[in-house]
Structure 1
């Protein structure tokens, strides 16, 4: 890799300030195992972190994805989180997140390995006009997540993301003769005796229920302490944790091209994966370093670190 000097590094990763369109060109082809990102959504109103008008959004995002295709390893995965949106001044949904999916598969030969849906039960009702005022639409609390790949068989291991068994399944495993009989079901499925085997957990569904209600984390507290705004559109760390566990191994490299507060890097660091992130907003990326500092660092030390990052005179190494 021939990337320029990073803003900061950690035990496993490096954070770079700059435009992803330019930084992606500096990465070697077929070098990244997982690209996990959540780009600015095509919303009706302009946000502080920067977003693009709906009409131009698909072409804008496609330009980044073209470069992602080049740097993604043949066995790698591209996971992209896209929130839904309404068309301007109409109670009609935008199709932008589906249009970008079709364009990526038709024009870049990405494969849709599987679609996921992130259900955020703590999401506030929106848009206010149609949900709260006129009461003609329900709360939008699901994001579409496209798991894309360059081949039909990207690296994946569902055993790494098993979920706890239901209480009913626990009873079945404890006493299979009482609760279970091997036979063909009305649906035509032939359920054999192996169904009652304890595999350490259940296979998760493609509906991921993860609350996004971070309000008192150390990252938020430290942003307040140094008087800098926290990134307003953070996804919960459990989201990238799921996909990093599912789609990578410890020696792999994870990339986020719209890092924001660097939740992806923090998740990768906790799983001992190498990571690279790109973010063009210096203040947001500087504050993202708070996710990696020692718990015993004083506010004075944090403030000094933040000022050094904003100055960009040297790469700061942050290790615990």
Structure 2
């Protein structure tokens, strides 16, 4: 079973990070206030939607719709809901690292109020993501459009936040080399994934699909990061985080949900290290200057480099510069000079002869980067 930490015990903790990979039992605001400042890398929040259902819902055949009518989703007024929202968001902002990000999911009932409060608290909105449901519930009365989506707000801690994680290249590669859009198509949680009790009823009325959480977590975290869910429910965030090699911390007050989440997470088998490597683009790779290739012996002083068609040539100098036609400079500057251009990418312009063919010196830079990766 996943570890459960009562709120009272959390407040007594003296050892650091004993709350990592636990479910904290208690009120979300009180639990958040007991966590250290700047201690989590990402937050996924699925707060009460304040659906304001006026009574039972029935299908045309008069069967009862299994809607959300739990006490935790009921508030006395919009003011009460706004005060609650402000309190938990403020507490989340404190525990979020300066380069961390937060996701909040909601429906038309609450997401606009939540978004306005986030801006009031100086969160910086990065995107709104639309989760389009492939199998939404019909509008049985036929008096409104079918509600077929939910909205997620993705935000950084403030407008000055730098260096937040966004795995752009991995998302693009997984999307057939097309930029990942802000509308995501997933079915609602059903079938074998839906947790049910011994009576056959849903354990949690708003359980989110694991595929949705997987994309969220893969988009904005790295292996080993800490993902916080202040409304843990059935533990989808924790289960997916564990499978993807991330750490989690959940906050939940309902014991039935805690029991279900704990058993669910305990059954998860994490992926191996090789499967968890996140694809990165050129911008994320360590900087390697041309002189490093010279110093390492991959390129030798006096060696001749040419362009791919052998129209231009240059001599490598011991200081890591190139010389040609009485001119000298960096691989970029001299590459531009010999062509009469203002700029040039010397890594792809200059080539070396490996005895079989001409190859760009960028291939040698990749050798250095691979060696650096092995040292990490």
| Bin for the TM-score computed over the shorter chain | 0.5 to 0.7
Q: What's the counterpart of residue 170 of structure 2?
A: 160
Q: What's the counterpart of residue 118 of structure 1?
A: 131
Q: For 1:165 and 1:79, how far apart are their aligned partners in 2? A: 21
Does residue 207 (structure 1) correspond to residue 186 (structure 2)? The answer is: no
Q: Any idea what SS the aligned residue of 2:101 has?
A: strand
Q: How far 1:274 moved relative to its partner? A: 0.8
Q: Any idea what SS the aligned residue of 2:245 has?
A: coil
Q: How far 1:59 moved relative to its partner? A: 2.1
Does residue 26 (structure 1) correspond to residue 62 (structure 2)? The answer is: no
Stretches of structure 1 lacking an aligned partner (at least 5 in a row)? 7-11, 86-95, 127-131, 167-200, 296-320
Q: What's the counterpart of residue 311 of structure 1?
A: none
Question: Structure 1 residues 35 and 209, CA, compared in 2 at 3 Å: closer, same or farther?
Answer: same
Structural mapping, 1:1-320, within 5 Å:
5=9, 13-45=21-53, 47-48=69-70, 50-53=72-75, 55=78, 56-85=80-109, 96-106=110-120, 108-126=121-139, 132-133=140-141, 135-152=142-159, 153=162, 154-162=164-172, 201-217=177-193, 220=195, 223-224=197-198, 230-294=203-267
Q: Any idea what SS the aligned residue of 2:241 has?
A: helix
Q: How far 1:22 moved relative to its partner? A: 0.7
Q: What's the counterpart of residue 89 of structure 1?
A: none
Q: For 2:125 and 2:241, how far apart are their aligned partners in 1? A: 23
The answer to which structure, 1 or 2, has the higher relative contact order (CA under 8 A, 6+ apart) is 1
Stretches of structure 2 lacking an aligned partner (at least 5 in a row)? 1-5, 11-19, 54-67, 269-376
Question: Structure 1 residues 165 and 116, CA, compared in 2 at 3 Å: closer, same or farther?
Answer: closer
Q: For 2:175 and 2:240, how far apart are their aligned partners in 1? A: 24
Q: For 1:19 and 1:213, how far apart are their aligned partners in 2? A: 26
> What does the per-residue CA deviation read over 1:249-284, in whole Å, with 9 as the maximum and x for residues that have no partner?
112100000000010000100111011000010111
Cα RMSD, aligned residues only: 2.5
Q: For 2:192 and 2:168, how far apart are their aligned partners in 1? A: 32
Q: 1:240, 1:264 within 8 Å by CA — same for their partners in 2?
A: yes
> What does the per-residue CA deviation read over 1:136-187, in whole Å, with 9 as the maximum and x for residues that have no partner?
3210111111001114442212123236556xxxxxxxxxxxxxxxxxxxxx
Q: Any idea what SS the aligned residue of 1:292 has?
A: helix
Computing the radius of gyration from Cα coordinates, the structure with the larger value is 2
Q: For 1:65 and 1:148, how far apart are their aligned partners in 2? A: 12
Q: 2:238, 2:265 within 8 Å by CA — same for their partners in 1?
A: no
Q: 2:235, 2:265 within 8 Å by CA — same for their partners in 1?
A: no
Q: How far 1:290 moved relative to its partner? A: 2.7
Q: 1:40, 1:49 within 8 Å by CA — same for their partners in 2?
A: no
Question: Structure 1 residues 3 and 141, CA, compared in 2 at 3 Å: closer, same or farther?
Answer: same
Q: TM-score, normalised by structure 1?
A: 0.67
Q: For 2:223 and 2:71, how far apart are their aligned partners in 1? A: 32
